[in-house]
Amino acid sequence: MNDNTDWYGPDAATFGDRLAAAREQADMTQAGLAKRLGVRVATLRAWEDDLSEPRANRLSMLAGLLNVSMMWLINGEGEGLSEPDAGDEQPAELNGILAEMRLLRSEMHEKAESMGRLEKRLRRIMQEPAHA
């Protein structure tokens, strides 16, 4: 196992990963945390799935309820969770799978941003008056 892995750092985990890990560490369900925050479960799920992010006031509440710093939730720095306990030693193949999943997530994020830029360009072109 690579001891230099920063499990919750910006290169290894997303905001949603850190939020889900902190919620699980606090032994809370999505429904329980959503109720305490005053948001819908679908909203919390979207945060954990990195489809959206909470506003500053909710972020502050999350940090307080989960006993982590806002900066740790945002970028993995500051007071937060330490590396997950290995318990029984995990198969070496598991680290490879996790690394590949992180890489795929990163690539998907880049492709989604690229798709957004293309859609924006397409909308601009479609709004231009037709040249006859």
Q: Mean pLDDT, 10 residues at a time, over the chain (132 residues)? A: 50 81 89 93 93 91 88 80 56 70 74 90 88 58
Cα–Cα dist 19/73, whole Å: 6
Same domain, 57 and 105: no
- By the 8 A CB rule, do 18 and 76 touch? yes
- Which residue's structure tokens are 């949603």? 16
Same domain, 92 and 80: no
Q: CA angle at residue 131 from 128 to 132, to 5 degrees?
A: 150
Report the pLDDT value the prediction gives residue 85, as an integer from 0 to 100.
53
Report the pLDDT value the prediction gives residue 3, as an integer from 0 to 100.
43
Same domain, 75 and 102: no
Same domain, 92 and 51: no
Element (H, E) at 132: none
Q: CA angle at residue 29 from 56 to 95, to 5 degrees?
A: 90
Same domain, 12 and 70: yes
Domain CATH number, residue 19: 1.10.260.40
Nearest to 37 by CA among 53, 60, 15: 60
Report the pLDDT value the prediction gives residue 46, as an integer from 0 to 100.
94
Count structural domains, the chain.
Answer: 2
Q: Is residue 116 part of a domain?
A: yes
Same domain, 57 and 115: no
Q: Is residue 26 part of a domain?
A: yes
Report the pLDDT value the prediction gives residue 129, as an integer from 0 to 100.
80
Report the pLDDT value the prediction gives residue 30, as an integer from 0 to 100.
93
Report the pLDDT value the prediction gives residue 41, as an integer from 0 to 100.
95
Cα–Cα dist 14/75, whole Å: 8
Element (H, E) at 98: helix 92-127
Same domain, 44 and 81: yes
Q: Which domain holds residue 70?
A: 7-85
Same domain, 117 and 129: yes
